[in-house]
């Protein structure tokens, strides 16, 4: 990545905070069921924390709370894997001189199994990839790679014999924006990946339309990655210029003579 490229910071979306903070990293959707119950029916100024209510009952001779929408055994058994520091290298992807993706010294090929492959790009320009696990515990989600830490980009990828062919830069855990996509595509381009051979889903990054909100799979908008990079850079440049113009328009005029005159009397 060139020095002029500023990677955006994508922290976990607020809906995932419970999962990240939880020492056991139970699935966030299940934790939110219990948090809503606690917040609506239990919480008072003197009730203590959500976590003490959720797990601390046996310490005080009380049963653990249970919500019918998510039975307690489901809550406690449905967890997300968070990779420890020494485990993160297992999912590292390197990019060779020909722009090919490698993992474990072999060309990355995501077509060999039925699972979707997800990825994150770290702020240290390290790319990680792993099959997504959503139907068994422990799950493997975007938050798994860096143990819930902020990332620069996240999404799904497809590769054939090391050649990157498709990107879907969407993540419910991180909600990357346009700047994340630009940073990702610049990283890939400067690493030697042929963007002309890559298709990318741009449905969440093009100017909004009046189209009714439906499933991402039903509104896929695949374009060439080179075209996407150039288009997004133009959109961001326009937005940055507009922001600068608005800042200048709202700037408070400064009476230079009055200021310097006052300083002379100090």
Residue identified by tokens 């993706």 is 101
Sheet holding 117-121, edge to edge: 106-107, 101-103, 92-95, 127-131, 117-121, 153-160, 163-168, 199-201, 222-224
More confident residue, 207 or 88: 88
Contact assessment for residue 142 and residue 82, using Cβ atoms and an 8 Å cutoff: no
Task: Single out the residue of 143, 153, 157 nearest to residue 83, CA to CA.
Answer: 143
Radius of gyration of the chain from Cα atoms? 24
Does pLDDT of 8 surpass 50?
yes
Q: What is the mean pLDDT of the chain?
A: 86
Q: Once rounded to an integer, what is the mean pLDDT over residues 26-43?
A: 97
Task: Single out the residue of 200, 227, 199, 221 nearest to residue 209, CA to CA.
Answer: 221
Round to whole Å and give the CA distance between 136 and 157.
Answer: 21
């Amino acid at each position: 990545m060139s020095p002029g490229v500023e990677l955006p910071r994508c922290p976990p979306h607020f809906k995932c905070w419970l999962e990240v903070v939880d020492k056991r990293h139970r699935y966030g959707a299940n934790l939110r069921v219990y948090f809503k119950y606690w917040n609506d029916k239990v919480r008072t100024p003197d009730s203590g924390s959500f976590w003490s209510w959720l797990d601390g009952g046996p310490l005080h001779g009380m049963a653990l709370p249970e919500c019918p929408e998510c039975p307690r055994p489901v809550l406690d058994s449905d967890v997300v894997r968070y990779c420890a520091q020494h485990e993160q290298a297992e999912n590292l992807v390197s990019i060779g001189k020909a722009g090919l993706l490698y993992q474990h010294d072999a060309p990355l090929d995501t077509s060999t199994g039925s699972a979707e492959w997800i990825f994150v790009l770290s702020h240290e320009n390290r790319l990680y990839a792993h099959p997504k696990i959503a139907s068994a515990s422990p799950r493997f989600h975007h938050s798994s790679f860096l143990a819930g830490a902020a990332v620069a980009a996240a999404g799904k990828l497809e590769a054939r014999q090391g050649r990157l062919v498709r990107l879907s830069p969407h993540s419910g855990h991180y909600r990357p924006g346009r700047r994340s996509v630009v940073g990702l595509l610049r990283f890939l381009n400067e690493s030697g990946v042929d963007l002309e051979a890559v298709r990318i889903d741009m449905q969440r990054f093009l100017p909004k339309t009046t189209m009714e909100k439906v499933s991402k799979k039903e509104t896929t908008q695949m374009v060439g990655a080179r075209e996407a990079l150039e288009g997004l850079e133009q959109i961001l440049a326009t937005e940055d210029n507009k922001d600068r113009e608005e800042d200048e328009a709202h700037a408070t005029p400064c009476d230079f003579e009055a200021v310097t005159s006052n300083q002379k009397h100090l």
